[in-house]
Amino acid sequence: MKIALVTAFPPSRQALNEYGFHIADELRQQTGVDLTILGDELSEPVPELSGFTVIRCWSFNRMGNAFSLIRIIRQLKPDVVWFNLGFASFGGKPLPAFFGLTTPALTRLCSCYTHVTLHQLFETVNLSDAGIKSPLLYSAAGHVATHLLLSANSLSVLLPAYHRTLRRKYRRGAVNVRHHGIFASRPEPPNFDLRGNPVHRVLAFGKWGTYKRLELLVTAFESIQSQLPQTELIIAGGDHPKTPGYVRGVAESTKHNPRIRFLGYVPEESLSNLFRTASLTVLPYTSSAGSSGVAHLACQYGLPILAPDIEDFVELAQQEFISMEFFTPNDVDSLAHKLLSLIGSPERLTVMAQQNFSAALQMAMPQIIRQYIHSFDMQRRVKMLKTFSRLRRFKRWTPARRLTVRRLERRLLTWDRPAQDEIASNPGSTKPESSGFTR
């Protein structure tokens, strides 16, 4: 099975590049899969990651991304084109972002099976947090873009609420709910000797400046730090592309406090040490933009989570059996109280850590990827059966019948199917994907 994966891909630092890497890393290990990554162009020439076939053929904020991608896809002739997307994947400006999102619909018109993993819905985005200047225009464009994305052969969302929204509002498309997944094949259980020994580290990790804000967390931490002498606040990650200089400004305002440390960008190979030595992770968000990658990283390392009481986080905790404590959004006193309560209760932190690690074991990335591949393989079978059924319409002597038979023979000869025994023996212990809806 030839798969073309359209995604931001390291060493790029654009949104969803980490998720794209882990999809690709698992795909290349699957039997019968020939993977080509259609990645975003890099601002500076740096070596590609070894072991991957990468074609850099689109760029953030470029108007012609759809045409560049279609040209490469027609040359590759893959069996599946898989898009790893958010609404701002192709651009931070309205026109490049919108025209980039037309690519899945155009790809399907080229007779390629097209799948979209959509990480967010525009309906759930807080427009003021996202810095949108024309909310009405954005809403209209988002509505049209969603219709275009639903024109793909299939689409996956990562929260049941998103499935319900699409079903209620758009009433079309084949939509499945899938787990986000963690980024490790075999996560290591948490080592509690590394936590609070002797200092408790409160970790905040992300791209900061839009709906992920640090002022609330910094203020809450400073209000209670005298009551928690063996505690420090670790802030990791850089600026969101829309808010350059944001982290530097917050760091400047707290430079007098040695117990607040800013680490900046953290490379992939350093994440393990960062998360394994923290006692708690905080998501100081003013709104949500999808299933949280940071929350899944915390589960992977068995880390307790403190999050705002926002619908997406509540549903994520319920759907994936993640242990979260919630504070009132944008309320300093609520956040400070929860921090004080959790750090002062080692038993509660241990129970939360164990539950989150247990949840992580149920959604390892190999399980998620096998579900995707199984779905793609079933679609190919259905397409093959439909072609066989068309043979019955032709008389034996007609040229159309002979051409169809030859086409089928070529497909069968090149059909390197994934190992069904492996899929059958490892279906994953997560809940089955919801049935798609088609109207």
Residue 246 token pair: 């944001």
On whether the CB atoms of residues 416 and 32 are closer than 8 A, the answer is yes
| pLDDT exceeds 90 at position 183 | no
**Residues 6 or more apart in contact with residue 20 via CB below 8 angstroms:** 5, 7, 8, 9, 10, 37, 39, 84
SS3 state at 91: coil
Tokens 């073309």: give the residue: 4
Percent of the chain, pLDDT > 70? 84
The pLDDT of 231-253, averaged and rounded, is 90
Answer CATH for 192-361 from 1.10.10.10, 2.60.40.10, 3.40.50.2000, 3.30.70.980: 3.40.50.2000
SS3 content of the chain, % helix, strand, coil (to 5): 45, 15, 40
Confidence check: pLDDT of 194 > 60: yes
Q: How far does Cα 143 stand from its chain's mean position?
A: 21
Amino acid (1-letter code) at residue 173: G
Record: fold of 2-177: Rossmann fold (3.40.50)
pLDDT at 433: 42
Res 50 pLDDT > 50: yes
Q: What is the pLDDT of residues 79-122, one digit of tens each?
A: 899 999 988 889 878 889 899 999 999 999 888 899 999 998 88
- Fill in the amino acid letter for 132: I
Give, as one character, the DSSP assignment of residue 1. -
Residue given tokens 């690709």 in the structure block = 24
**Contact predicate 36/5, CB 8 Å:** yes
Angle at 93 between CA 87 and CA 96, to 5 degrees: 75
Give the side-chain half-sphere CA count within 13 A for 316: 31
SS (H, E, C) 183-229: CCCCCCCCCHHHCCCCCEEEEEECCECCCECCHHHHHHHHHHHHHCC
How crowded is residue 415: how many other Cβ atoms within 10 Å of its Cβ? 14
pLDDT digits (tens, 9 = 90+) for 354-382: 999 999 988 888 889 999 998 888 877 77
**Tokens 């049209």 belong to which residue?**
144
pLDDT at 129 over 80: no
Same fold flag, 2-177 and 192-361: yes
Question: ∠ at Cα 307 (306, 310), nearest 5°?
Answer: 155
> And the tokens for 46?
């740096």
SS3 319: helix
Boundaries of every domain in the chain: 2-177, 192-361, 365-414
* Cβ partners under 8 Å of residue 408, min gap 6: 384, 387, 388
Q: Which helix (H) or strand (E) holds 282?
A: strand 280-282
Residue 417 has pLDDT above 70, yes or no: no
pLDDT at 424 exceeding the cut of 50: no
Among the listed residues 69, 62, 52, the one whose alpha carbon sits nearest the alpha carbon of residue 17: 52
The DSSP-derived string for 102-150 is THHHHHHHTT-EEEEEE---GGGS-TTTTT-S-HHHHHHHHHHHHHHHT
Stretch 27-55: mean pLDDT: 91
Closest to 293 in 3D by CA, of 21, 12, 4:
21
Pairwise CA distance, residues 224 & 232, whole Å: 11
What tokens appear for 158 in the block?
């990562």
C-alpha triplet 363, 367, 368: angle, nearest 5°? 75
More confident residue, 413 or 335: 335
For 61-64, the CB contacts below 8 A with 24+ separation are 61/90, 61/91, 61/92, 61/93, 61/96, 62/90, 62/91, 62/96, 63/95, 63/96, 63/99
pLDDT(436) > 60 = no
User: What is the rounded distance in angstroms from the CA atom of residue 306 to the CA atom of residue 338?
Assistant: 8
DSSP 265: -
430: which DSSP letter? S
**Token pair of 253 as six digits:** 């305002």
Q: Per-residue pLDDT averaged across 320-331, rounded?
A: 93
Q: What is the amino acid identity at position 279?
A: S
What lies within 8 Å, CB to CB, of 79 at 6+ separation is 1, 2, 3, 112, 113, 376, 380
Whether the per-residue pLDDT at 403 is higher than 80: the answer is no
Cβ-based neighbour number of residue 159 at 10 Å:
25
**Rounded to two decimals, what is the model's pTM?**
0.78
Residue 155 has pLDDT above 80, yes or no: yes
| Per-residue model confidence (pLDDT) at position 432 | 37
Question: Residue 376's CB: how many other CB atoms inside 10 A?
Answer: 21
* Residue 257: pLDDT over 90: yes
